[in-house]
A and B are shown apart, each in its own frame.
Chain A
Amino acid sequence: MSADSGSRDFWRGARSTPAMIIAIAPFGLLFGALAADNGFSVAEATLMSALVYGGASQIVGVELFGQHAAPWMIVLSIFIVNTRSILYSAAAGRLIAHWPSAQKALAFFLLVDLQYAEAEREAEQGRKLTLGWYLGLGLPIYLTWIAEAAVGAAFGRLVTDPHALGLDFLVPIYFLSLVMGFRRRTKWLPVVAASAVASILAYLAVGSPWHVSLGALAGILLAAALPLPRYVEPSRG
């Protein structure tokens, strides 16, 4: 890849980011506000956004921190929320299989929901994924995500009535919109129903955050146990 085409790819990726940055800004700010609300300093909130870079898991983490959950439970819950990244990693890994290992290692750090979805779209359009394009897309989103945590954490302390602004319940609304986004997957309804019932039962019987892993396990096992959709055997000539 020449420097010229690398820079051209970078700007082609970067040009598509403003709309995405606007779309995720509320969550970056929300994370900062919730982090401050739950006892994180501005520096800690900013550092978490810079190092973890996973919105939903960061929000779950600071909420559990505020509820004085044990540190290992907080970390385990963050991992559990991020298990979806394992899927992204498996799928996106095939798109960038031709990259050198160091570039792949960097790419996986930036592999958030948006980045993954855009990478799949780029590949669908018949383009070979380049590091320039990938960073052009990923870096503006990553850098503004970090800045939003700082602004949100500083601003969050000025919000005197978080309940009236709905801050405490914006998270479930956000997660529900993500759940709905997966509704075209096979077995979506039974999976959601099983996980909803199991997580509520676990929440009542065992408590937080185990309702996440136990509830998720119910849906995953059900999906694995249900009759498989018609599966096309690869031809073995």
Chain B
Amino acid sequence: MSTTLWIILAAAAVTYLARVLGHLVLSRFAYVPPRVQAGLDAVPAAVLTTLVAPAALSGGVPELAALLVTALVALRGGALVTFAAGAAVLIALRNLPG
């Protein structure tokens, strides 16, 4: 089997593991300590931020403007509108003549 196929199968396995793990662990405890709960609550924002920050560091004006607009539109708009606004700014600024 190719390396790619192995990666896909392993990725599927660890992804499914993550999707059952929370239930398997939590269903064994009647009580989750508040500090563990607080840490778990922070997981989505913490992980997703790490996927944005280094990209912002190496970005130029179109990239930074797109991120700024995305953050501002997200305060009001839904997911689709937010993404479309950020993408529109990025594509427009990258395609400016000159």
Residues of A whose CB lies within 8 Å of any CB of B are 22-23, 26, 39-41, 44, 47-48, 51-54, 56-58, 60-61, 65, 71, 74-76, 78-94, 97, 104-105, 108-109, 111, 163-166, 169-183, 185-188, 191-192, 194-200, 203, 208, 211-212, 215-226, 228, 231
Contact = CB atoms under 8 A, between A and B. Distances in A.
Interface of A: prevailing SS: helix
B16 to A, nearest CB: 6
Given A93-B27, A97-B27, A104-B23, 13 more contacts: A65-B7, A74-B11, A75-B11, A84-B47, A85-B15, A85-B18, A87-B43, A89-B23, A111-B19, A172-B51, A173-B83, A175-B52, A187-B41
B45 A191 contact: yes
Name, among A82, A172, A200, A223, the residue most crowded by chain B CB atoms within 10 Å (CB to CB): A172
A65 B8 CA distance: 11
B65 to A, nearest CB: 11
Nearest to B82: A177
B9 A215 contact: no
A82 B13 CA distance: 11
Given A188-B45, A216-B43, A93 B86 contact: no
A90 B44 CA distance: 14
B49 A192 contact: yes
B86 A177 contact: yes
A199 B58 CA distance: 13
Interface residues of B, number: 66
Interface of B: prevailing SS: helix
B77 to A, nearest CB: 9
B46 A219 contact: yes
B70 A173 contact: yes
Contact of A223 (B39, B56, B62, B70): B39
Contacts of A85: 15, 18-19, 21-22
A76 to B, nearest CB: 8
Interface in B47-76: 47-57, 59, 62-63, 66-67, 70-71, 74-75
